[in-house]
C-alpha cells in the first residue's frame, strides 16, 4: 500500500469529486463590480461603510497593523476594553470578552465551562464551531432534532434523572437564527425548559446581531430574554462588517474565560483597526441610521420573495435575510450556482457536510446594500 501523503490525499480528493463535494477557492476582486454578491453575510452593508473605514484607517495609523501578542502578554489596547463594555451593554450583560473569531469564541468557551462527566445538548443544526467545541470539551454530547422542544425536554428529563447527585453540569447550545435554513429557535420555550431542569444555555446570535431589535442587539434582546441566558455568543464579522467573535455574560464568566479559554489565552489579539471598525459598526447599528438599514433589509427580503417564480417561491420559506433554495442533490446545486455565476451572480451551492445529504441548496443572502434592480435581476436569472 502506498503510504505517501500526497498519494493518499489525492485518492480522497478524487472521492470528493465523484460525490460532487470537493471545494475549490475562486478568485474575486472583492468588488461588487465583479459579481452581484448574494453570498456574503454583510446584512447591513457595513463592511464598506465610510465610518467603519475611517475608524479602521485612523486606528491603524495611530497603533499599527497588529496587536503583537496575546492580551495577557502585552496588555490590552483601551479600544478593546471599550468594545467589550459596549458589547456587554448592548447585550444586556455584565461583561464581554472578544476573541479572534466566532469559531474561536466557541472553541474557547464551551470547553472552559464543561468537561468530562458533564453533558452538552446541541440542536441538530447547530453550527460546526459549536459541534466541534462540544466534542473538544470531553463532555457527553447529546443532540435533539432541530427546534424540537419536546425532544429537548425528554433528553433533559432523562439526563437529570440519571444525575441524582447533581454532579454533572448540563449545557444546552443553540443558535438564535440558523445560518443555513434562515429560521429561528423557539428561544422562550428553550429558556423555560432549561430553567425547569437547572441547565445552562449558550445562544449563538451570530446571524441575528445587527439585524433584529430596535438597536440591532439580536433576537434575545428583541424578545427581552437576554437576562435569562447564561452565555450569549456572536460575531463581529457578519452584520457588523468587521471580524472577530465575542461572548457576553456575567463578570464571573468573563473572568473565568480570561483564565481558561485557550483560544483567547494563546491567541494574538485582534488588530487595532479591526477593533475600531467594530466599535463604529455598533454605533451605526444603534443609531437611527441602523434602524433605517434594518428597514431596508426587510424591504429587500420581501421584494426578493415576491419576485420569485412559483416553483422557487415554494422553496423560499424563510423570513430572514438567509433564503435557502433547496435543490436536493449536490450536483444540481453546483450546476445552478455555476449558471448564476456565468450571469454575474455570486450565490453559493451549499452541500454536505454543511447541510444534510440530499438537502443541497442555493443559499441566497440579502443585504440592505442590494438595490431593487439587483434583486430583480437575480430573480430573472433564477427563473
Domains assigned to the chain: 50-286 (3.40.640.10), 288-382 (3.90.1150.10)
> What confidence score (pLDDT) does residue 32 get?
46
**Cβ-Cβ contacts under 8 Å for 377 (sequence gap 6 or more):** 36, 345
Return the pLDDT at 29: 59
Indicate if 127 belongs to the active site. yes
CA distance 329 to 19: 10
- Could you write out the DSSP letters of every residue in 212-225? SSSSS--HHHHHT-
Segment (H or E) for 349:
strand 349-350
207 in catalytic set: yes
Regions in the chain scoring below 50 on pLDDT: 31-32
Catalytic residue among 49, 91, 93, 127: 127
Question: How many residues make up the chain in this entry?
Answer: 383
In angstroms, the Cα distances linking 37 to 41, 76, 285, 347, 368 are: 10, 36, 22, 7, 12
Assess whether 315 carries a catalytic annotation. no
pLDDT reported for residue 184: 97
Q: Which of 37, 77, 179, 285 is catalytic?
A: 179
Catalytic residue, candidates 207, 226, 263, 374: 207
Of 217, 216, 246, 223, the residue nearest 95 (C-alpha): 246
The whole-angstrom separation of Cα 383 and Cα 64 is: 49
Q: Catalogue the E-assigned strands of 181-336.
A: 200-204, 231-235, 245-249, 322-328
Does 175 qualify as catalytic in the annotation? Answer: yes
Residues 226-255 pLDDT 10s: 999 999 999 999 999 999 999 999 999 999
Tell me whether the omega of the peptide bond preceding residue 353 falls within 30 degrees of 0, making it cis: yes
From the list 238, 263, 267, 379, the catalytic residue is 238
DSSP, res 178: -
Catalytic residue among 42, 153, 204, 205: 204
Pull the grid cell for residue 49: 461603510
Amino acid at each position: 500500500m502506498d503510504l505517501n501523503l500526497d498519494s493518499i490525499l489525492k485518492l480522497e480528493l478524487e472521492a470528493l469529486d465523484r460525490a460532487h463535494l470537493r471545494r475549490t477557492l475562486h478568485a474575486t476582486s472583492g468588488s461588487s463590480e465583479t459579481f452581484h454578491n448574494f453570498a456574503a453575510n454583510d446584512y447591513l452593508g457595513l463592511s464598506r461603510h465610510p465610518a467603519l473605514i475611517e475608524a479602521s484607517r485612523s486606528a491603524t495609523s495611530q497603533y499599527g497593523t497588529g496587536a503583537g501578542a496575546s492580551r495577557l502578554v502585552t496588555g490590552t489596547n483601551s479600544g478593546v476594553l471599550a468594545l467589550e463594555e459596549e458589547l456587554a451593554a448592548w447585550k444586556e450583560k455584565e461583561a464581554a470578552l472578544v476573541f479572534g473569531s466566532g469559531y474561536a469564541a466557541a472553541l474557547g468557551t464551551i470547553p472552559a465551562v464543561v468537561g468530562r462527566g458533564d453533558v452538552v445538548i446541541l440542536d441538530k443544526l447547530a453550527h460546526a464551531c459549536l459541534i466541534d467545541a462540544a466534542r473538544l470539551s470531553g463532555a457527553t454530547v447529546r443532540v435533539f432534532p432541530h427546534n424540537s422542544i419536546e425532544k429537548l425536554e425528554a433528553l433533559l428529563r432523562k439526563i437529570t434523572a440519571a444525575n441524582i447527585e447533581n454532579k454533572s453540569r448540563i449545557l444546552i447550545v443553540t443558535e438564535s437564527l440558523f445560518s443555513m435554513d434562515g429560521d429561528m429557535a423557539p428561544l422562550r420555550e428553550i429558556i423555560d425548559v432549561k430553567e425547569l431542569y437547572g441547565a445552562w444555555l449558550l445562544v449563538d446570535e451570530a446571524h441575528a446581531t445587527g439585524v433584529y431589535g430596535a438597536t440591532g442587539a439580536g433576537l434575545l434582546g428583541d424578545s427581552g430574554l437576554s437576562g435569562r441566558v447564561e452565555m450569549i455568543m456572536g460575531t463581529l464579522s457578519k452584520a457588523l462588517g468587521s471580524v472577530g467573535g465575542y461572548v457576553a455574560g456575567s463578570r464571573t464568566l468573563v473572568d473565568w474565560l480570561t483564565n481558561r479559554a485557550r483560544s483567547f489565552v494563546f491567541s494574538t489579539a485582534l488588530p487595532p483597526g479591526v477593533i475600531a471598525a467594530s466599535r463604529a459598526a455598533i454605533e451605526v447599528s444603534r443609531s437611527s441610521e441602523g434602524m433605517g438599514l434594518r428597514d431596508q433589509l426587510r424591504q429587500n427580503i420581501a421584494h426578493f420573495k415576491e419576485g420569485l417564480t412559483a416553483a422557487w417561491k415554494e422553496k423560499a420559506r424563510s423570513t430572514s435575510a438567509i433564503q435557502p433554495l433547496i435543490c436536493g442533490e449536490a450536483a444540481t446545486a453546483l450546476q445552478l450556482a455555476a449558471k448564476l455565476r456565468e450571469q454575474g451572480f455570486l450565490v453559493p451551492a451549499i452541500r454536505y457536510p454543511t447541510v444534510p445529504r440530499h438537502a443541497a441548496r442555493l443559499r441566497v443572502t440579502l443585504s440592505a446594500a442590494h438595490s431593487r434592480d439587483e434583486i430583480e435581476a437575480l430573480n430573472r436569472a433564477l427563473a
